[in-house]
């Protein structure tokens, strides 16, 4: 099931980007064994495991890594793994006796994936932080927001997930391919600061070409251009316009029933305020769904702004089976799509210790070895 079928990943419980990377790998068919803490208190987060949907598709073994038996069990499992995922601050895994050197002594082919905010070295390496801190120092946050307003945090999509979890999953896949050729594993140092900066690579070129300058909200892609922005409709909802190319812009103006000759030219920056005012007034005369229907069969690049719940019900996502319901919870389906090795989700997020015995058997441990691991590791499974 999936292009990564047969790959074994040992994932140490964390939040944010690490479980997202584990989810991506599990969705693609990897056998991801989650090393949980033997307690229900997960970093102060209250809630059922079933709602932590990024942990889907795993089995769990709950180890007390502060006890010798737990560390010994983790090292034994690392011997059978292709890769490890961990998201502690630099030095924590080494102090536990589970750092790269200790694991590579047991398994020289192991890929050791490390997820941090700042990276494994540098003056900020051991400092605390969250998505908003990392994207602030990457330069990305400064570019996001309206002219004359403060930067707008784009949820935690840029640092945690795009610049973090996806980067780590990509790094793991790259290093596993290399390890199969060389017979040697390595450390993958994925930092959200690096990833957020990498996501903004295009803007390095735009700045060099003189096509991106000045404060936020004054450029084409940051709401500066009136034909690449959001507009309120008569019902208090919103539509977006992304009519960059001249032919798409012409369809936008025609669909709004406006006369292009009476408006400022599309790329006349001095005329942008007047053009924006005209578009805003026109969109405010009808509802969001009216405009969605009016532009449905055009290339004007006008779309309704949907809620998460509304998005799940769109014909486009429904046709592509873009939403799964696991344990009664709707969530995005695995992506991307593959023509032969279709990915899928094995099941709902596991309770702590759920599926440990079966997972160890699949990983090559015989019944006695599995019993020794479970007995010495403080396994907290559902009773």
Residue 372 catalytic? no
Backbone Cα Rg of the chain: 25
The closest of 61, 56, 90 to 77, measured between CA atoms, is 61
Helix axes 166-182, 192-199, angle to 10 degrees: 100
Exactly one of 64, 160, 194, 229 is catalytic; name it.
Answer: 160
Sequential DSSP letters for 15-69:
STHHHHHHHHHHHTT-EEEEEE-SSS-BTTB-S-GGG-GGGTT-EEEE--TTSHH
User: What H or E segment, with its residue span, contains residue 201?
Assistant: helix 201-208
Distance CA 325, CA 327 (A): 7
Exactly one of 121, 130, 268, 289 is catalytic; name it.
Answer: 130
Strands 8-12 and 83-86: parallel
Helices (H) and strands (E) counted in the chain, each on its own, are 15, 11
Q: Cα 116 to chain center, whole Å?
A: 14
Residue 267 catalytic? no
Three-state SS at 13: coil
User: What H or E segment, with its residue span, contains residue 323?
Assistant: strand 323-326
151 backbone dihedrals φ, ψ, rounded to 5°: -55, 145
Which residues are identified as catalytic?
A: 130, 160
């Amino acid at each position: 099931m999936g292009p990564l079928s047969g790959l074994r990943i040992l994932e140490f419980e964390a939040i944010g980007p690490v479980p997202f990377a584990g989810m991506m790998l599990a969705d693609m068919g990897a056998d991801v064994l989650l090393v949980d803490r033997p307690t229900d208190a997960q970093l102060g987060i209250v809630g059922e495991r079933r709602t932590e949907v990024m942990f889907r598709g795993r089995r769990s073994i709950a180890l007390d890594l502060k006890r010798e038996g737990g560390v010994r069990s983790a090292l034994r499992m690392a011997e059978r793994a292709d890769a490890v995922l961990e998201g502690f601050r630099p030095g924590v895994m080494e102090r536990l006796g589970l750092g790269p050197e200790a694991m590579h002594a047991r398994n020289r082919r192991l890929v050791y994936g490390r997820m941090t905010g700042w990276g494994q070295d540098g003056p900020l390496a051991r400092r605390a932080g969250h998505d908003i801190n990392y994207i602030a120092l990457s330069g990305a946050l400064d570019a996001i927001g309206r002219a004359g307003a403060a930067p707008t945090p784009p949820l935690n999509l840029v640092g945690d997930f795009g610049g973090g979890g996806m980067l780590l999953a990509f790094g793991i896949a790259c290093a596993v391919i290399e390890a199969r050729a060389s017979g040697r594993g390595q450390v993958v140092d994925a930092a959200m600061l690096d990833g957020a900066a990498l996501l903004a690579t295009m803007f390095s070129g735009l700045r060099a070409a003189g096509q991106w300058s000045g404060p936020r909200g004054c450029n084409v892609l940051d709401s500066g251009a009136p034909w690449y922005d959001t507009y309120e409709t008569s019902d208090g909802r919103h539509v977006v316009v992304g009519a960059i190319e001249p032919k798409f812009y012409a369809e936008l103006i025609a669909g709004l029933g406006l006369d292009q000759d009476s408006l400022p030219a599309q790329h006349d920056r001095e005329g942008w305020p007047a053009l924006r005012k005209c578009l805003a007034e026109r969109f405010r005369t009808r509802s969001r769904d009216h405009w969605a229907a009016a532009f449905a069969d055009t290339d004007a690049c006008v779309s309704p702004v949907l809620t998460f719940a509304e998005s799940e019900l769109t014909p486009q996502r429904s046709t592509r089976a873009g939403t799964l319901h696991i344990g009664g919870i709707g969530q995005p389906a695995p992506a991307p799509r593959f023509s032969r090795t279709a990915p899928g989700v094995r099941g709902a997020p596991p309770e702590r210790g759920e599926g440990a015995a079966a997972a160890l058997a699949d990983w090559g441990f015989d019944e006695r070895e599995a019993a020794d691991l479970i007995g010495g590791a403080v396994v907290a499974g559902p009773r």
